Amino acid sequence: MHLGTKYFLQILKDAVGPCVNSSKFSPTLTIKLYSRMKPQIFFLTKNFRNAYILPSFQGGIQPRRLFSYKDLLKSEQEHWSAFQSNYTRKTERLKQRLETYYEKYSSNLDSLMIRFGEYVYFEEDGCVCRSRLEETVEGNIEVLLCMEDLPFHGFFIQRIRISSDHRYIATGIKSANSEESVSVIVKLNTLPVIEHIIPNVFSFEWATHDILFYTVQKNLQCHEVYLYDFNKKHSELVYTEQDARYFVDLYCTKDKRFLTINSSSKTTSEVWLVDCHHPFKPPVLVQQRTKGVIYHAEHRNNYLYILTTYGDPMGYKLIKAPVDSCCLENWRSIYAVKEKAKLIELEMFKDHCVVFLKYCGHLYIDNISLVSNSIHSVKLPAWACSFELEPHPEYTTSTCYFWLSSPVQPPIRFAYSLVENKLIELTEQEVSIAVNCHAIHLEAKSKGEVWVPITVFHEPNSVELHRKPLLIHVYGAYGTDVNMSFKPENLMLIEDGWILAYCHVRGGGELGLGWHKDGCTTKKHNGIHDLKACINLLHKLGFSQPVYTALASLSAGGVLAGALYNNDPHLIRAMVLQSPFLDVLNTMLDPHLPLTIEEQEEWGNPLVDETCKAYIKSYCPYQNIRPQHYPSLFITVSENDQRIPLEGMLRYICKLRRAVRDHVQAKSADEKGLHMPNIILDVQPGGSHCASSLNQVAVQLAFLYSELGLDMQK
């Protein structure tokens, strides 16, 4: 369902997509550097009911027979295995080409590096290492922790936090096949020694050099905060959240004065302060939670700087309040995000606050001087669609570093001078790829006279665009933008003549908070109307035609894609979904699932509201399957993905195949040569959610090339 974590600024952002669970706010100032390491997302396993009645459908399964879960899974695996041979040659050729692109741009993938004090800490080849700043070039590296030495298999390093005196390093590791996560604390003596291992830890921060605060995750939920005292070798409970809709996270202010306990739902949050000078004192509440108000606190010179949705007009504001009287009546606004602007990121420095925004399809920096209260705005390069901040290692720095990219442009590193308000491109490259790809910004008129943005990419010299293949991307949920970060496979598609279109529909966050509110709960149909309007406009303007059009989405984006698949199947030829959310109604009617209560602020609560239940049923992809002609469909899921249970996916596929069979049987007498869509469920082992291997990307593209009848260029 919901990609990502409940961190405050990740509520503002959002891969996905896939997203990696790592806080932007760390006392050690995490720096994202692009190298060969790939980010991944992984989630918990799930137990399923043993059996249910399976309706008949194509693929070798007999009708009206009681099947166990294992029988269903085995049948789908056999069906896909038999069908996969049709794509073998295309898959291998595409994989070879993709390997070339990934190898060429491998230096632009994520790695983890932290500059703290006189050391640089980093992850390399499954080890946590450090070197002194002056010795980094010489390559003098000290290995602090090696994954091979731990009794955990299939885990990867996710988070690093260093104590203020460099005596301890806490490392968060996560399973690649489940939600299991562990914090390993190493004491940095002459030889590093593992001091303590804490299971089921989601987030953690150092309050002092020997006191670590951490949250415990159970069944995808975080409700408890503990502290561990390394002097007394003792842990104690600090905070408990009683409301199942809320998720608890930790953050340390940039000046390391306070540790904040952040309890957030989808629409409301509450912050408690822990004084790092007196960590055993009870946390102090900043402002009691108010329905519909989200806020997050930073600290500077005995004042809290609070980023919040409180007040009119709708949108985010930066508020200032004294620490000793920080309740709501003392909040004073010093900055407001303009209407229909998307707040991407906010970073605090000693004398500046830097805000990254998206407005009218362009990225901007607003540099707020906390001394003079002046604001300087800088427009970033027009080709940029995606932004990734490198939190600077020093609170007192005068330069902010970040990366810009687009779906067809590898990340380019920039520096921004806070004092001179000057932007500098740092990455050296011969030719900007974005120059060799034509980008167009369109607007489609949707229901209610609303204009919906679309971003289109294609070769600059393409002719007969109506004959070119078109791949449409959509998401439209949780206030999260459709993913427009760089992917090497997009360059291959552009080279092969594809048109790439990104639909910024309501329910996403591209146009700010209001854009999300107009596409959630009882307004989900708006996003569905928007997607249809976007596709119709693209075809009307000559960007491909239905027979050459494919739709792609993942996770919660499957709701809009699946709804269009039911309502307007004639608009597309094929659809590719990854870990899609397709059975909204049954999921939201099951309070025993870990995320159902938490998700009610996005989808509504059909458990108590019959009107809500009827509304969800009106658009739910599973509920609206009916006998008709459907486009071909390729779905990739993980066997043990708790967020998208495989049981529901099997049920969806069964019902869809039965509807296809019934339609073909009813029409076969009248329509000779009726096209039979290919419906494929590729079940991957493990518990990952929306994390693709190179081979999976190749298989999905082979499916699209085959369904659209395309020849390989190379």
Q: 3-state SS of 442-488?
A: EEEEECCCEEEEEEEEECCCCCCHHHCCEEEEECCECCECCCCCCCH
Between the CA of residue 332 and those of 322, 406, 693, what are the distances in Å? 10, 37, 48
| pLDDT value at 311 more than 80 | yes
Q: Which of 406, 553, 555, 638 is catalytic?
A: 555
Cis, bond preceding 313 (omega within 30 deg of 0): yes
Give residue 330's pLDDT: 95
Q: What is the DSSP code string of 142-168?
A: EEEEEGGGSS-SSEEEEEEEE-TTSSE
Percentage of the residues of the chain whose pLDDT score is greater than 70: 86
Average pLDDT, integer, range 144-161: 91
Q: Which of 47-61, 63-77, 235-249, 699-713 has the lowest mean pLDDT?
A: 47-61
Average pLDDT, integer, range 308-329: 94
Residue 39: pLDDT band (50, 70, 90) is: very low
Give residue 390's pLDDT: 80
| pLDDT value at 210 more than 50 | yes
| pLDDT value at 446 more than 90 | yes
| pLDDT value at 51 more than 70 | no
| CA dihedral for 159, 163, 166, 167, sign (positive or negative) | negative
Of 179 and 324, more confident: 324
Residue 433: pLDDT band (50, 70, 90) is: low
Average pLDDT, integer, range 92-108: 86
Instruction: Establish whether 71 is a catalytic residue.
Output: no
**Do residues 151 and 162 make contact, with C-beta atoms less than 8 angstroms apart?**
no
Give residue 673's pLDDT: 57
Q: Which residues contact 4 (CB under 8 A, 6 or more apart)?
A: 10, 13, 14, 16, 17, 19, 21, 480
Other Cβ atoms closer than 10 A to 223: 18
Q: Kindly report, residue by residue over 587-642, the tens digit of the pLDDT.
A: 999 999 888 999 999 999 999 999 999 999 999 999 999 999 999 999 999 888 88
Q: Kindly report, residue by residue over 211-249, the tens digit of the pLDDT.
A: 999 999 998 899 999 999 999 999 999 999 999 999 999
Q: Which of 2, 641, 688, 692 is catalytic?
A: 641
d(CA 495, CA 552): 19
Average pLDDT, integer, range 509-517: 96
Instruction: Establish whether 641 is a catalytic residue.
Output: yes
d(CA 189, CA 418): 39
75-89, 422-436, 615-629, range with greatest mean pLDDT: 615-629
Q: Kindly report, residue by residue over 325-382, the tens digit of the pLDDT.
A: 999 999 999 999 999 999 999 999 999 999 999 999 999 999 999 999 999 999 999 9
Phi, psi (deg, nearest 5) at residue 618: -70, -20
Of 39 and 404, more confident: 404
The C-alpha torsion from 42 through 15 and 534 to 524, rounded to 10°, is 70
